[in-house]
Amino acid sequence: MLSNYSASKTERSVVEYMHGLLDDPGQIFESTHYSPGHFTASGVVTRPDFSAVVLIDHVKIGKWLQPGGHFEPVDATPIDAARREVEEECGISKLETLGLIDVDIHDIDGRQDHPAHAHFDLRFLFTTEQRDLQALDGVAGAKWVGVHDKVERLGSTVQRLLDKVAGRSERG
């Protein structure tokens, strides 16, 4: 999956680092793998014309992000994890998978239940005709956002995702 990803110049070092982690002797896909961290999966859900994406108001983080989270034992693939997270967090079950759109490494602050660590996020692009959203598991709100809209409390790398989706929209 990472070897087939067409990384931008700025993403190449991230992809190389993440690819190297796959050789880690630990369970790099388990949420309890803290050193240096673990893989996560996100869903960048768009309308078929790429004009808008789904964002969730994440309860713990307090920012608007794409749906996503940790791998679970039921997930056969990273795409399955992203798809499950989308359904669990905003209720979208009818998704067409377009593939990996972005990779990201971000730091997670330590809390009582876990030490500080990194998330190695695999971000998959999905389209859907479904318009209705629900704020479900760990989500204070869910909404469709136009790819050119300005959003308060936007997660630090979400603008990059919006820009990538907007590029697809402009290519028609």
Which pLDDT value is given to residue 172?
60
pTM: predicted TM-score of the whole model, two decimal places:
0.94
The two three-digit tokens of residue 141, written as one number: 């709100």
3-class secondary structure, 38: strand
Which pLDDT value is given to residue 49?
96
DSSP conformation class of 114: B
Provide CB contacts within 8 A for 41, sequence distance 6+: 68, 69, 71, 75, 78, 79, 81, 82, 85, 121, 122, 123, 124
Mean pLDDT of 87-103: 96
- Residue span of the structural domain in which 123 resides: 2-171
Comparing 7 with 169, the larger pLDDT belongs to 7
The two three-digit tokens of residue 114, written as one number: 């876990």
Task: Find residue 43's DSSP bridge partners.
Answer: 124
Cα angle, residue 157 at apex, residues 16 and 1 outer, rounded to 5°: 35
SS3 content of the chain, % helix, strand, coil (to 5): 25, 35, 45
* 8-61 tens-digit pLDDT: 888 899 999 999 998 876 799 999 999 999 999 999 999 999 999 999 999 888
Query: Which residue is listed with tokens 């479904």?
Result: 130
Q: How many residues does the chain have?
A: 172
Alpha helices in the chain (DSSP H): 12-21, 78-90, 158-171
The CATH code of the domain that includes 78 is: 3.90.79.10
Count how many domains the chain has: 1
Whether the per-residue pLDDT at 70 is higher than 80: the answer is yes
Cα angle, residue 75 at apex, residues 160 and 133 outer, rounded to 5°: 55
* 100-149 tens-digit pLDDT: 999 999 999 898 889 999 999 999 999 999 999 999 988 999 999 999 99
Peptide bond into 36 cis (omega under 30): yes
Sign of the dihedral defined by the CA atoms of residues 118, 28, 153, 171, in that order: positive
Which pLDDT value is given to residue 148?
94
Residue 44 and residue 84 in contact, taking contact as beta carbons nearer than 8 Å: no
